[in-house]
Amino acid sequence: MKILACGDVVGRSGRKVFVDNIADLRRRLALDFVVVNGENAAHGFGITEQICNSFYEAGADVITTGNHVWNRREILSFLDGDSRLLRPMNYPKGTPGRGTGVFTTAKGSKVLVIHPMGRLFMDSLDDPFAAVEAELTRHRLGVTVDCIIVDIHAEATSEKMAMGHKLDGRVSLVVGSHTHVPTADAMILPGGTAYQTDMGMCGDFDSVIGMVKETAVARFTSKLPMYRLQPSAGEATLCALFVETDDETGLAHRVGPLRLGGCLSEQWPP
């Protein structure tokens, strides 16, 4: 199975680079499944029903989010009705939406997407490791599902790496989101799980993690409350991670980053 996991979409330029390219990427890479993180898609904070639908129409199979999913209040009712839009799984019981889902590809393969959020330097949620373990008691890679993708939305690289090693050999892919900067550690772990600490963002990199750089710098250098972050509107780079899995085991045998457009150097999977 061939999978593309796309980094956090930031603002209009991020939406454009994703929507304009994903159909061609599906053809060019013969993709079976596309997951994209959309938590910053609506003017840099949150996501809307309209944006979700535009991503689905472009070629996304599932949208993950993160701590900013709640910034657009209108999404609360939509979360309960859209099984393809995931919020972090380790919010308290009763929180709108869902954090996992099993999805069927056009070829009939079953893909489980698990979406935990880290706790280091972030909100104090339920234990993400225990939440993932509970989900894996219900599904087994290569038996009940053909592929398992884990998008861990976390600040600390150590927490993401710990999740990767804990799940090695039991899931197809562990990939990090949230920090918006693509890391250079795409690899297959010893047990056969593909891993990258952060897949980066779909957004303008002539910025501070997708936000207008002058405003972001001013917020660091002044404590005055007048500086409101706005997404940078320059040409965006699409950052993603490509993974190919074994059809029998569901484990990875090929992984590599993809970068397209904008000011970062172009890169295609090996």
Helices (H), 29-125: 49-58, 75-81
> Distance between CA atoms of 58 and 43, rounded to whole angstroms?
19
Instruction: Give the tokens for residue 15.
Output: 């939406």
The distance between the two most distant Cα atoms of the chain, rounded to a whole number of Å, is: 58
43 assigned to active site: no
Vertex 75, ends 137 and 238: CA angle to 5°? 80
Contact (Cβ atoms closer than 8 angstroms) between residue 27 and residue 59: no
Helices (H), the chain: 11-28, 49-58, 75-81, 128-136, 157-167, 213-221
Catalytic residue, candidates 43, 68, 178, 180: 68
Residue 145 burial (C-beta neighbours within 10 Å; 0-12, 13-18, 19+)? buried
- Just list the catalytic residues: 68
